[in-house]
Each structure stands twice: as structure tokens, then as C-alpha cells.
Amino acid sequence: MAPPLAAPRFHAALPRGLLLRPRKPLRSWRRAARPDDQDLYVDDDIGDGFSFSGGKYAEAEGPSKSDEWFAQGRMVKAHALYGNKEKAKDPFFGLTMGSGSQSSGDVFNWFCVEAGSSSNPTVLLIHGFPSQAYSYRNVLPVLSDKYRSIAFDWLGFGFSDKPQPKYGFDYTLDEYTSALESLIDAVAPDKLSIVVQGYFAPIVVKYANEHQDKLNHLILVNPPITDKHAKLPSTLACFSNFLLGEVFSQDPLRASDKALTSSGPYMMKEEDATVYRRPYLVSGASGFALNAITRAMGKDLKAYIESMRSILASDSWNTKTTICWGLRDRWLTYDGVEDFCDGLKHNVVQLPMAGHHAQEDRGEELGNIIKRILRG
């Protein structure tokens, strides 16, 4: 294991006393934790709005949740850059961009957090869009006694590299599929099980279809699997808009906070929200990556979902597959999921109180479900 890493510090001259109101009045709310906790999200039962009071853009001096999480991980090199390694430039003014938007070398750096003995069976935990490996922080310890569990940040997210599009990586779904293969070869060369959540599921299924001999089990958590799921929710689709999307993606609250809280009944502490928000405060690289990924999803997601459905229904698909579904998902409807699985060999497990990002909402519960599934 590499020595602990030091997360880059940042200071943002932004307002501390922030209060955002939802577009519709909330009919009910409940606090995220103990009554004496401060800076909590409010859980609204309707609409796609969110409320957040007493929040802080910038972290206080001293160790933060981001620092602690960063120190638990390591950087793994995987997947070579394409092109001539020219310095990335701003898409509007042509100015050379900062280090956060530049490729770190000939091969990309991926941030990975690992728990459990290397002698145990490997489980790869893959976050959705938009999220981070941090979303599995409560799943990792549940699995660590029986499994070697690895969570990582996709390129463009968290602490992994975020190259400017057209300078080594363009964030297309095909590129992500190829990059995933490179990463898995680096961190799990032998057999493994994979857990993937949300909109990256079709990418993982495409990889899995070409490497079934390598997989023990595949667990899909709230994947886009029906025709109704092919269209991104407005909370995400807005990032693909010309010019306006670039503006929205540079707003930490819209790009991280709202993207998480609008998709389910989230109850998140401010200290956890700062971890998701931090990449958008450090540089504009996360925002530019978000723009590119959203446009790629808008273009190719439907075809990838159709391909995933075909693969999972094929007689040649022999990998043990389970679909876990947070029933309070506000982005993807559960209608049609059971119908698709009916008659196939795939089990469906419901999480009644979880939303779209089930590992964030009900991490310990999902961890125990994964454990039971892998035990057969």
C-alpha cells in the first residue's frame, strides 16, 4: 500500500451563510441525524427541489472529511492517453488551463480506496453518475471482513484525473468501457464480482459481456434498464446545454449538491456534502468533464441501454446477475423492471427506503444485501 496521500487544500472566497429554497413548498421534512446536528440537508417528499440551510462552501481549517477520505486511498495508473499530449486549453478563450485540467502523464491516475484482506474474494464497487467512490464509504466496512472491496472514482470525478475533453480523453461511453478494462486489469487481474450503480451500469454490462469468464457475480443498483430510462432527468440534462451548461457545471451546489439530493430522499450531513463539492471548488475541470459526460449520455445512452437489455436477456449470458432497486428513486421509475426480469435468471431485491444513489442513502443496508447475494 502506498503511503497516505495529502489532499490539495483550497480556499474559496464565497458566502458562508447560504439558504436555498425549493421551488415548491415542502409538505414534510425530517432532520438528517441527531437533533443537535448542524448544517443538515432537509428531506422533502415531493418534487425535485432541495433545501439546505447553514451551509459552508469552504471547509474549516484543519483536517476535513475530504482529507480523511483521501488519506485512505491510493492512486492507480491505468489507461493510456490518446493524442500528442498537447497542453489543454480553455474551449472559449484558448488559454492554457490549470493543472487540474491537464493529463498527469502518459497514463491516467485513478483514485481507489480498498478495504479487506487481499486474500479474500474481490468486489469492485462502481459509483454512478454523478457521484464518487465516497458514496460507498458505509458499504466498504460491511464487506471488509469477508471480501477485498475496492471503490474508485471514474475519470472526471472525485480525486481521479479530469483531463480537458479532446486532450487525452473525451468522456464517451466507448472510452469509459475501454478505460474500465484497463483499470480492472490493474487492480483485479483475477476473478471478481462487480457492483455498479446508476447510469454507468450499461458501460459495465458491456465490459462484463466480453469478460464473463472473469466475473463471479454482477450486481446492478438502480440501473437504467427500460425504455423510459433512456432520457436523462432535467437535473442532469441541463449540463449538456450550450453555454448555460458550462455555467451550471461550475456551480458547486447545482453540480454536486442538487444532483445528489434531487434523485432520492437524501439525508446528508454538511461534512459529507463538502466531499462531493470539493472537486468543483478546486478547479473548473470537474465541471468541464460533467458537460462532456452529460452530452455523451444524451447521445449514446439509449443505444447502450438497448444493448444492455439484449445482453442480459441473451442465452449466452451466464453471469449471476442481481438487480437491487431503491424504490424512492426520483430519476428512474421502477415500472417495467420486474417485467423485464420476469422469466430471466436475474433476481430483484428491493430497498424500500433508498433512492437512486442507494449506497449513499442506505449504505449499511446495501452492504449487507451485497454480502447475502455473494454468499448465494
Residue 350: inside a domain, yes or no?
A: yes
Whether residue 49 is contained in a domain is answered as no
For residue 39, tell me if it sits in a domain: no
What the block records as the C-alpha cell of 371 is 454480502
Q: Is 27 exposed, middle or buried (0-12, 13-18, 19+ CB in 10 A)?
A: exposed
How far apart, in whole angstroms, are the C-alpha atoms of residue 137 and residue 59?
20
322 domain residue, yes or no: yes
pTM of the model: 0.82
DSSP state of 16: S
In tens, the pLDDT along 301-346 reads: 999 999 999 999 999 999 999 999 999 999 999 999 999 988 788 9
Number of other CB atoms surrounding residue 88 within 10 Å: 22
pLDDT tens, 124-173?
A: 999 999 999 999 999 999 999 999 999 999 999 999 999 888 878 999 99
Q: Which helix (H) or strand (E) holds 276?
A: helix 270-282
CATH assignment of the domain containing 214: 3.40.50.1820
- The domain containing residue 366 runs over which residues? 106-375
In a domain, residue 340? The reply is yes
pLDDT single digits (tens) 57-75? 444 566 788 999 999 999 9
| Residue 373 neighbours by CB distance under 10 Å | 18
Residue 95 pLDDT exceeds 90: no
Share of the chain above pLDDT 70, in %: 77
CB-based contact 302:225 (threshold 8 Å):
no
Q: What percent of the chain shows pLDDT beyond 90?
A: 61
pLDDT of 22 over the 60 cut: no
Q: Is residue 209 part of a domain?
A: yes
Q: Give residue 205's pLDDT band: very low, low, confident or very high (50, 70, 90).
A: very high
What are the CA-CA distances from residue 150 to residues 113, 153, 196, 230 (Å)? 6, 10, 12, 28
Number of domains in the chain: 1
Q: How much is the pLDDT for 201?
A: 97
What gap in Å lies between CA 235 and CA 220, rounded to an integer? 22
Q: Say which amino acid occupies 277.
A: R
Neighbours of 211 (CB within 10 A): 16
Cell reading at 173: 461511453
CA distance linking residue 220 with residue 199, whole number of Å? 10
Instruction: List pLDDT tens digits, range 259-284.
Output: 888 898 877 788 899 999 999 998 88
* Res 44 pLDDT > 70: no
Residue 75, SS3?
strand
Q: Pairing relation of β-strands 148-152 and 18-20?
A: unpaired
Residue 26 lies in a domain: no
Residue 135 inside a domain? The answer is yes
- Residue 102, CA distances (Å) to 105, 136, 174, 179, 254 in order: 9, 27, 21, 17, 24
Residue 269 corresponds to which amino acid? Answer: K
Distance CA 46, CA 351 (A): 19
